[in-house]
Chains A and B, each alone.
Chain A
């Protein structure tokens, strides 16, 4: 395959950045999107140019490290992560625009790499269940109804890649946060801290400079794990309940 890549190049957080066009040849349609970028970078390095910086880790769609905007869609045209997107999803001669996630809560580090520390700080503010250290409790010590466990597992599929924020017209982090709150809130172990969790996390979310949710659903459509929009409604309901309890 022969492609024309239009890639956002930015030399650091303070650099203004801009789009640079790279023609690329000899791309196999069995390559993953990141392998295609590896090929591009090999060529750039051989020519003595600076390779394009992008994030990746597991390359099997489970770590949430990779993720770029491809032709205006988070993770590109398929419902999957960028690493699991293959070049067969494109046609020979295509022009592909590649940009980093855009949100002021995700400052660009370099080229396609963004700092998603804001998502970590939301988790640190309450996205966990406090547990005593010591021996592991018996697996059947606290029974969990099957439906609750299923919903928790569905929400727990979130890998924190940030595609929801990138796809949101308001750069809101509510699908991510809703997934975590739904995940922990479905378990008996998550109940004692349920109110404190939603109050603290939603406060941190706003503090990080994410926008508000307008319930358009772009986040859920972009999510490689298919997290449904109802986790946001769950979070909103939990917040209302927490405020009632506090009042």
Chain B
């Protein structure tokens, strides 16, 4: 072996692959949270009492090892930090991509890739706006839809009695599905999991499976409530 002639190289700014790794890791955290959130939502099918009990239990989870709402706050802080890192990396990469091609093509094919790219970027922005709305709606109770109630289950049922609330949530769920479809694949790519053509197929399959499960699982409660299937 000869003496290596590769120098350390210049790396004055945060590498784009590092930013993508941050997005992949925080994205995996979100996928875990979303699956747990979906499971909680489906509790409404076991009755309003089960749903309320579940919501209450979240506040007491881990007590007496943790103070009341301790677990909830650990989750909230983890998610908030992840969200800031995920979105900041995304915007940084978005702006770098814009500067990488300042003169556009006169004619361009690759409609599907362009659609997926937009669904990730603009769909991601839509999700960000939705998260704010969703927190104002069900967490801080700033936005009341269909009246005010003192328990989560009644609030849920009253909200989804309104067609426009159902539409807002279904649109957000569709954005989430598209985001997961490409996001899970992309996270696998970034974390170095796609090492062969077989692995690529498996990654695609996992992404499709999770996206379908999440879309169906999240869409079921609002649709069922709107159709009056929840007593």
| Residues of chain A lying within 8 A (CB to CB) of residue B11 | 199, 203, 206-207
Say yes or no: is B2 at the interface (Cβ < 8 Å to chain A): yes
Q: Report if A41 contacts B (CB, 8 A).
A: no
Q: Which of A8, A71, A204 contacts B109 (CB under 8 A)? A: A71
Assuming A233-B192, A238-B192, A240-B191, is B103 touching A211 (CB within 8 A)?
no
Of A99, A171, A203, A215, which one neighbours B107 at CB under 8 angstroms?
A99
B199 interfacial by beta-carbon distance below 8 Å: yes
A228: which B residues are within 8 A, CB to CB? 197, 200
Residues 7-29 (chain B) with a chain A CB within 8 angstroms? 7-13, 15-17, 19-21
**Is B102 a contact partner of A104 (Cβ separation < 8 A)?**
yes
Asked if B107 and A200 make an inter-chain contact with CB atoms under 8 angstroms apart, the answer reads no
- B100 and A199 contact, CB distance less than 8 A: no
- Contact A170 B17, CB 8 Å, known A72-B110, A215-B186, A229-B194: no
A73 interface residue (CB < 8 Å to B): yes
Which listed residue, A103, A197, A201, A204, touches B101 by the CB 8 Å rule? A103
B188 lies within 8 A of chain A by Cβ: yes
Q: How does the 8 Å CB contact mask read for B186-202 relative to A, with 1 for contact and 0 for none? A: 10111111111101100
**Main secondary structure on chain A at its contact with chain B?**
mixed
A interface residues, Cβ below 8 angstroms from B = 6, 8, 19, 69, 71-73, 97, 99, 102-105, 125-126, 130-132, 167, 169-172, 189, 192-193, 196-197, 199-207, 209-218, 221, 228-230, 232-241
**Minimum Cβ distance to chain A for residue B90 (Å):** 10
B100 with A105: CB separation less than 8 A: yes
> Closest CB of chain B to A52's CB: distance in Å?
15
Size bracket of the B interface: 35 or more
Q: Are A215 and B100 in contact (CB under 8 A)?
A: no
Given A126-B6, A202-B15, A212-B17: A229 touches B189 (CB 8 Å cut-off): yes
For the complex with contacts A73-B110, A200-B6, 15 further pairs of A-B residues with Cβ separation under 8 Å are: A6-B106, A72-B108, A97-B106, A99-B105, A125-B9, A126-B6, A130-B2, A199-B11, A206-B11, A209-B100, A211-B100, A216-B182, A229-B189, A230-B196, A238-B192
Is B2's CB under 8 angstroms from A236's CB? no
Q: Which residues of chain A come closer than 8 Å to B197, judged between CB atoms?
A: 228, 230
22 A-B residue pairings within 8 Å (CB atoms):
A102-B103, A126-B9, A130-B2, A170-B100, A170-B101, A171-B100, A197-B6, A203-B9, A210-B100, A212-B96, A213-B189, A215-B185, A215-B190, A216-B116, A217-B113, A230-B194, A230-B199, A232-B194, A234-B192, A234-B195, A237-B191, A241-B192
